Homo-oligomer: A and B are copies of this chain.
Amino acid sequence: MSGPTIRVLTLLELLQTHGRMTGTELARRLEVDKRTVRRYIRALEDLGIPVTTEQGRDGGYRLMAGFKLPPMMFTNEETLALSLGLLAASALQMADTQPAISSVQAKLERVMPDKLKSRARAISEHIRLMLPSSLPEPSPTHLEPLLTAIQAQQAINLSYATEEQGLTNRRVEPYGLLFRRGRWYVSGYCHLRRDLRTFRLDRIQRVQLLALTFIRPDGFDAAEHFRHSLNNMQGNLHIRVLLHTDRERAFDMLGSTAAMLEERPDGLLLDIRSDCAQWFGQWLCQMPFDFTVIEPEELKQAIQDQAQRLMTLAGR
Contact = CB atoms under 8 A, between A and B. Distances in A.
Contacts of A90: 85
Range, interface on chain A: 35 or more
Nearest to A66: B113
Interface in A257-316: 258-259, 278-279, 282-288, 290-293, 299-301, 303-304, 306-311, 313-316
Contacts of A314: 293, 299-301, 303-304, 307
A135 to B, nearest CB: 6
Contacts of A37: none
A63 to B, nearest CB: 10
A69 B66 contact: no
Contacts of A290: 309, 313
A170 B272 CA distance: 43
B100 A81 contact: yes
A27 interface: no
A126 interface: yes
Interface string A72-96: 1111111011101111111010110
Interface in A1-57: 2-6, 8-10, 13, 16-17, 29, 43, 46-50
A282 B288 contact: yes
Interface in A185-204: none
A80 to B, nearest CB: 6
Contacts of A111: 66, 69-72
Contact of A68 (B70, B283, B307): B70
B82 A86 contact: yes
Please state the number of chain copies in the assembly: 2
A14 to B, nearest CB: 9
Most chain B CB inside 10 Å of its own CB: which residue of A87, A136, A285, A291: A285
A304 B112 CA distance: 58
A133 interface: yes
A128 interface: yes
B50 A115 contact: yes
Given A115-B50, A314-B303, A256 B97 contact: no
20 contacts: A4-B5, A6-B43, A66-B113, A67-B73, A71-B110, A78-B100, A80-B143, A81-B100, A82-B104, A84-B94, A85-B85, A85-B90, A88-B88, A122-B147, A126-B176, A127-B177, A128-B179, A132-B256, A303-B314, A307-B311
Given A80-B97, A85-B88, A292-B313, 17 more contacts: A5-B8, A5-B47, A8-B9, A16-B110, A71-B111, A81-B89, A122-B151, A127-B176, A127-B177, A127-B179, A130-B180, A133-B256, A135-B259, A182-B251, A282-B288, A290-B309, A306-B310
